[in-house]
């Protein structure tokens, strides 16, 4: 596999389901990637979503840790990630087609070590007034 995609989540099963469905569309025909979902103590249907959709990925791991915090999830996932390239993704992001290939290409140059890109989250509520670039009118 070329890329380890890591998602840390807590009590956002609907948003996570959308992210997993978007990744399912990328799982065929592109670079191989493993998907790791680190659950930081969810009390909603996060586990059920992972059980239902995880089977569609050749390499899928669900991790549960009751301690909240993105750093906790990152560390748990990093301990088991198998690919040489790590891609961190939030549960409200829907990657574009070609995203795993773009990551692999971006880090193919030995001078590079980080490949940030544009992110357009799917927001559950309107963003605060301080972030107009996240609204349809602002961006």
How much is the pLDDT for 115?
66
Angle 43-46-47 (CA atoms, 0-180°, nearest 5)?
95
Q: Are the C-beta atoms of residues 36 and 8 closer than 8 Å to each other?
A: no
How much is the pLDDT for 139?
43
DSSP assignment string, the chain: --EEEEEEESS-HHHHHHHHHHHHHHSSSS--EEEEEEESS--SSHHHHHHHHHTTSSSEEEEE-SS--HHHHHHHHHTT--SSEEEEE-TTB-PPTTHHHHHHHHTTSTT---------B--SSPPPTT-GGGSTTT-
Instruction: Give pTM, 2 decimals.
Output: 0.81
Q: pLDDT of the chain along its 139 residues, tens only?
A: 688 999 999 999 999 999 999 998 887 766 678 999 999 999 999 999 999 999 999 899 999 999 988 999 999 999 999 998 888 999 998 888 778 777 777 777 777 666 666 666 677 777 777 655 655 554 4
How much is the pLDDT for 135?
55
For tokens 């009390």, name the residue: 43
């Amino acid at each position: 596999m070329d890329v380890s995609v890591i998602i840390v989540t807590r009590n956002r099963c609907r948003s996570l389901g959308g992210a997993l469905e978007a990744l399912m569309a990328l799982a065929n025909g592109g670079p191989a990637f493993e998907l790791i979902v680190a659950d930081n103590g969810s009390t909603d249907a996060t586990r059920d979503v992972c059980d239902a959709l995880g089977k569609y990925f050749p390499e899928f791991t669900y991790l549960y840790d009751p301690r909240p915090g993105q750093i906790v999830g990152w560390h748990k996932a990093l301990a088991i990630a198998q690919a040489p390239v790590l891609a961190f993704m939030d549960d409200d992001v829907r990657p574009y087609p070609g995203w795993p290939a773009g990551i692999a290409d971006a880090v193919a140059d030995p001078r590079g070590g980080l490949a940030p890109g544009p992110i357009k989250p799917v927001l559950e509520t309107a963003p605060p007034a301080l972030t107009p670039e996240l609204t349809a009118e602002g961006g």
